[in-house]
Amino acid sequence: MNEHKYINFLAKLGIGSAHPGGRPLTAAILRDAAIIPGEKVLDVGCGTGETSIYLAEKYHADVTAIDLHPKMVSYAKKRALAANGMLTVMQADAEQLPFPGEQFDMILSESVTAFTHIEVTLQEYYRVLKQGGRLFAIEMTIEEPLPASSQEEIKALYGVKKLLTEDEWHLRFQQAGFSETAAFQEQDFYAKAGADPLPTYQLTNDIDEEALDVWLNHLQIMDKYKDLLSYRIYEVRK
C-alpha cells in the first residue's frame, strides 16, 4: 500500500487550502490567535504556502514553513519569492523537526499531524515551542470509535496511522506535555469564517488515472462516513 497516495494526489493537483474549512477557517483561527508582529511561527505541512504567506504579510510574523513533499516545497518557495514579509520555506519532517528546542511562539498544523506518527510529532511540537507557546491544529477526528474494518478502509485511502476521537486527541496532547487543551467544531467559527471559497489549484502534468481514482475514493469515503468522520480545531498550550 502506498501510504502517501492521498498526499501525492494533493501535490499533483497543486491544491492550496486543502484542509477542512479552507481559507475562511484559517483566517478565523488566526484572527483569534492575537499574533504579535515578529513572533516566530512554524507552519507545519505548508503545502503550496498559502497560509504561510498570509501569516507573513497580514500579521508580520516571522514564519518558517515546512513540508515533507518536495513538490509542495517547490510550489511554496516559488510563491515565497513574491511575498512581502519574513518567510523561510524548507523541506522537513514533522516527526524530526530540524530546530533547537524552544524556538517558536506558535505552531500551525492544518490537517497534517493525523498523517504522521501522532505521538512522535506532538513531542516534537512540544520540544520546539517556547514555554507558553501555542499550537493550533486542524485535525481529522472520528465522532466515535469505529469497527476495525471501517478504520482500515479509511486508513488505506488517507495513509493515516490512527483514527482518534476528540477525547483521544486530548489525551495525546496531555501525554506530550501540553498543559492546556481545547477543541472547537466548525460551527464555532462559522459566523466568522463565512462562505468557503473554492480552493486554489496549480494543475500539473502529473494528473493521471491514479490521482482520479484517489479523488473518487475520497468522495465515496466522505459520503459513507459523513456522520462519523469529521475534524476539530485544537488549541493547546505548552
List of domains in the chain: 5-237 (3.40.50.150)
Among the listed residues 149, 201, 219, 222, the one whose alpha carbon sits nearest the alpha carbon of residue 10: 201
Q: Round the average pLDDT of the chain to a whole number and report it.
A: 85
pLDDT at residue 216 above 60? yes
Whose cell is 495525546? That residue is 172
Find out whether 227 and 144 touch, Cβ atoms under 8 Å. Answer: no
Q: What is the pLDDT of residue 82?
A: 86
Q: Is the pLDDT of residue 197 over 50?
A: no
Residue 196 — very low, low, confident or very high, per pLDDT cuts 50/70/90? very low
Beta bridge partners of 40: 62
pLDDT in tens, 75-97: 899 989 988 889 999 999 999 99
Is the pLDDT at 126 greater than 90? The verdict is yes
Angle at 19 between CA 13 and CA 25, to 5 degrees: 130
The string over 184-220, giving b where at least 16 C-beta atoms fall within 10 Å of a residue's C-beta and e elsewhere, is bebeebeeebeeeeeeeeeeeeeeeeebeebeebeee
Identify the pLDDT of residue 222: 75
Please say whether the beta carbons of 29 and 55 come within 8 A.
no
CA–CA separation, 125 vs 145, rounded Å?
Answer: 26
pLDDT given for residue 169 in this prediction: 98
Per cent of the chain over pLDDT 90 is 60
Biggest alpha carbon–alpha carbon distance for the chain? 48
Cβ partners under 8 Å of residue 43, min gap 6: 51, 52, 55, 63, 64, 65, 66, 108
Residue 100 has pLDDT above 80, yes or no: yes
Altogether, the residues listed in the chain come to a count of: 238
Q: What is the mean pLDDT of residues 179-198?
A: 68
- Cα–Cα dist 115/121, whole Å: 10
Query: Which position has the higher pLDDT, 160 or 61?
Result: 61
Q: What is the pLDDT of residue 225?
A: 81
Q: How far apart are CA 127 and CA 31, in angstroms?
A: 25
The DSSP symbol for 205 reads T
pLDDT at residue 209 is higher than 80: no
